[in-house]
Amino acid sequence: MATFPPNIPPELLHELSKYTTPTGVADYAALALIGGIGATLLSRGRLWDKPDPLHHLWFERPQLKNGAQAGSANKETRNIAQKLEETGKNIVVFWGSQSGTAEGFAHRLAREISIRWGQEAMTADLSDYDPITISEIPNAKLAIFVVSTYGEGDPSDNTAEFWSWISKASDVSLSNLRYAAFGLGNTNYKFYNRVVDVIVEGLDKFGAQPLMPVGKANDAEGATEEDFMSWKEDLFAVFKDKLGFQEAEAKYVPSLKVEEDESLEPIDLHHGEPNNRAEAPKTAAQSSAVRTLNISDSRELFTSSDRHCLHMDVDLSSQPELSYKTGDHLAIWPGNPDVEVERLLDVLGISSRRDIPLGITTLDSATKVPIPTPTSSIAIFRYYLEICAPVNRDNIRDLAQFAPTPEAKAYLLALGKDKDTYASFIGRTHVNLGRLLQLACPDRPWNNLPLSYLVETLPHIRPRFYSISSSSIVSPRKPSITAIVSTTPLPENPNELIHGVTSNYLLAISQQARSQSHPSGITYHLNGPGDALQGGKVFAHIRRSKFKLPALGKTPLVMVAAGTGIAPFRAFLSERCQLLKIGKEVGPMILFFGCRNPNEDYIYREELEEMQAVLGGRLRIVTAFSRLEGTPRQYVQDRVGEFGKDVIEVIEEGGNIYVCGRAGMAREVEKVVGRTMKEAKGWSDDEVNGWSKTIKKKNKWQEDVWG
């Protein structure tokens, strides 16, 4: 029966009912038909047109059923104690890593424990397991933590959950847990190795038993590798003297199998396309998916002929789902230079088989396949492994077992044995894998060196992040980046340069657009896998950042930058110019900028002066030049000290302070500002530290720093 809204007169209801009540066979037939259609639609998928549960098999690749990309029917446990029991492991090496160094150390350590000490060891991403389950690890097993600190004492993304738990948990007993810990940090940052300190403090608070003092690496001195190796040897002394482990001759035992499979077709393979969706959930959530993006324009910013700095505009038009906000980062995924790819293929004797399909499978249930499979040798060396990275002493010694001649074996053992010999060698020669193998044995291929060893031990290519130097309000579909091209001379051989992988890759793309070659003659496969990058494209993704302008345009700003640290401030100023143009109030700003020489590397000078003219008296630019002939060296932190009263005035007016550049510079700037506040306010050191923590907690002091 039809229903009507209330408050309708009875006479009208009576009249309407004549048209809503069935009056004949035709009306009843129509109602029956409508009801039948509705019932049919509602029952679809239940009573009829049920989906075939095996329909997906038509689309599966049979060769992937047992591979890492095929997935698993069994959901992985998040209980680390259960995982150790299921896999028969005695030792777990947890890792927390932002750039990949701590992860690499963890894998090296677990592998060496298994080979050298006969103990079943596994690595574990801290984000893969529920933190509370470490309390269930029995006393007969060991836990080792290898964790990095970055930024202002921050944990890596994959350590965040464990960090939160260990800091806030209560009523937890870890009395059965025996552990060791190693931290990676940098004394250029204020909170050196804070993450490992907090974790160890929490473990001890809950009764865990340390096997040895915590180890720490200091990257500010370039000593991370040697610090790790020294700590590792101390750990192994504990294994031998306290735990009674028996040391055996180190011999490679693969945890992966890499084998040719010529039954696969090119369409089945991964040719080098990157994928960031496999990262820790928190990391993945902060980033867009990797996409191919057009470089719409690029130009040189330096006037020097032997130094290069690029401004690049990237076009998002082909990827409508991508967007960015002012202050975000653009991640560029590089390829390795052709000369190093060819060198490694030749020295391994597999140049002619570079395109043969390779399947990679795990031989250990606790080991993940680290790169996409199936693939090929050319894709592995061109896009998936960091083949340009220096070879550490551990790996040099390991490589000796695969040497094609006794002389090559002796050469590697001697080089890897002594710290000083190794340090002197890498001071003269950039010793990446291909070059090392050539030097050790120039006349014979390394046929006995398995690809599985390289996949397990070489670091995997990761993207490089660049601060976006455009405003999302002014240029919403064309973010820009500012990239200085890295060419570092060797300490003992200045004529030999180490070329940064990603920046030189970008330089090659920029030069190709002008029909010119790379200044150093370096070539890359710029068309990308399957010609996906043809026409000047890159693989890239956008990462969200907390380095943001305040919501109110009238908030005063102090911005401190050195070199390419100016990038996000170009975006900030561009946005504030736009706000002013549309009639919004804009607060006063001071930009401190440091570089070598105003005639050489004062990047964006004309743009900054134009924006200063638009903003009128609202923007003051203070420069510092460290290599200006005829004048003393001056750094940006020196200028901040000179204008200390103005900086304090901005702070007291509720302004924000931003610092972008190297971590050492940021630390010095904080010291200068803290000293100025101390003198102006008559504060003690504790009061200065308390103020510093408070202003950072409120996001009134933000940093985007590196190195």
The CATH number of the domain holding residue 688 is 3.40.50.80
Residues 6+ apart with CB under 8 A from 154: 195
Predicted local distance difference test score (pLDDT) of residue 289: 94
Task: Please give the Cα distance from 489 to 495 (Å, whole number).
Answer: 7
Do 598 and 606 form a contact (C-beta atoms < 8 A)? no
Do 96 and 221 lie in a common domain? Answer: yes
- Determine, yes or no, domain membership for 61: no
Going by DSSP bridges, is the β-strand pair 537-543/329-333 parallel, antiparallel, or unpaired? antiparallel
Predicted local distance difference test score (pLDDT) of residue 324: 98
- Determine, yes or no, domain membership for 51: no
Q: What is the mean pLDDT of residues 292-315?
A: 94
**Residue for token pair 């607060």:** 587
- Which one of 460, 483, 514 terminates a domain? 460
Task: Please give the Cα distance from 131 to 128 (Å, whole number).
Answer: 9
Question: Over 80: is that where the pLDDT of 359 sits?
Answer: yes
Predicted local distance difference test score (pLDDT) of residue 675: 96
Residue 595 lies in domain: 557-706
DSSP annotation of 552: S
- Cβ neighbours around 587 below 10 Å, total: 18
Give, rounded to a whole angstrom, the gap between the first and last alpha carbons of the chain.
Answer: 76
Going by DSSP bridges, is the β-strand pair 142-150/91-96 parallel, antiparallel, or unpaired? parallel
- Determine, yes or no, domain membership for 379: yes
- Per-residue model confidence as pLDDT tens digits over 378-437: 999 999 999 999 999 999 999 999 999 999 999 999 999 988 899 889 888 888 999 999
The string over 162-196, giving b where at least 16 C-beta atoms fall within 10 Å of a residue's C-beta and e elsewhere, is bbeebeeeeebebebbbbbbbbbbbebbbebbbbb
Look over the chain and give the mean of its residue pLDDT values, rounded to a whole number: 89
- Determine, yes or no, domain membership for 607: yes
Torsion of the alpha carbons at 483, 489, 495 and 500, rounded to the nearest 10: -40
Instruction: Provide the CATH number for the domain around residue 208.
Output: 3.40.50.360
Nearest in space to 17 (alpha carbons), one of 30, 1, 31, 35 = 1
Question: Over 70: is that where the pLDDT of 280 sits?
Answer: no
- Determine, yes or no, domain membership for 52: no
Most confident of the following: 92-106, 142-156, 338-352: 338-352
Do 105 and 206 lie in a common domain? Answer: yes
Predicted local distance difference test score (pLDDT) of residue 429: 87
Predicted local distance difference test score (pLDDT) of residue 281: 65
φ, ψ at 658 (rounded to 5°): -125, 135
Do 147 and 216 lie in a common domain? Answer: yes
Element (H, E) at 637: helix 636-642
Task: Please give the Cα distance from 286 to 385 (Å, whole number).
Answer: 24
Do 640 and 682 lie in a common domain? Answer: yes
The model's confidence at residue 49, banded by pLDDT at 50, 70 and 90, is very low
Do 131 and 166 lie in a common domain? Answer: yes
Cα 571–chain centre separation = 23
- Determine, yes or no, domain membership for 44: no
The model's confidence at residue 59, banded by pLDDT at 50, 70 and 90, is very low
Q: What is the mean pLDDT of residues 218-238?
A: 92
How far from 580 is each of 576, 588, 618, CA to CA, in Å? 6, 12, 10
Predicted local distance difference test score (pLDDT) of residue 55: 37
Predicted local distance difference test score (pLDDT) of residue 663: 87
Nearest in space to 555 (alpha carbons), one of 635, 464, 652 = 652
Do 693 and 626 lie in a common domain? Answer: yes
The model's confidence at residue 537, banded by pLDDT at 50, 70 and 90, is very high
- Determine, yes or no, domain membership for 569: yes
Do 673 and 584 lie in a common domain? Answer: yes
Do 660 and 610 lie in a common domain? Answer: yes
- Determine, yes or no, domain membership for 266: no
Predicted local distance difference test score (pLDDT) of residue 615: 97
- Which one of 415, 435, 460 terminates a domain? 460
- Cβ neighbours around 200 below 10 Å, total: 22
Do 425 and 365 lie in a common domain? Answer: yes
Least confident of 73-77, 98-102, 605-609: 73-77
Q: What's the total number of domains in the chain?
A: 4
Do 299 and 349 lie in a common domain? Answer: no
Do 95 and 206 lie in a common domain? Answer: yes
Instruction: Provide the CATH number for the domain around residue 400.
Output: 1.20.990.10
Nearest in space to 289 (alpha carbons), one of 263, 265, 312, 323 = 323
Predicted local distance difference test score (pLDDT) of residue 5: 46
Do 297 and 446 lie in a common domain? Answer: no
Residues 6+ apart with CB under 8 A from 292: 318, 528, 532, 533, 537, 538, 539, 540
Predicted local distance difference test score (pLDDT) of residue 508: 97
Task: Please give the Cα distance from 213 to 181 (Å, whole number).
Answer: 8
- Which one of 545, 570, 594 terminates a domain? 545
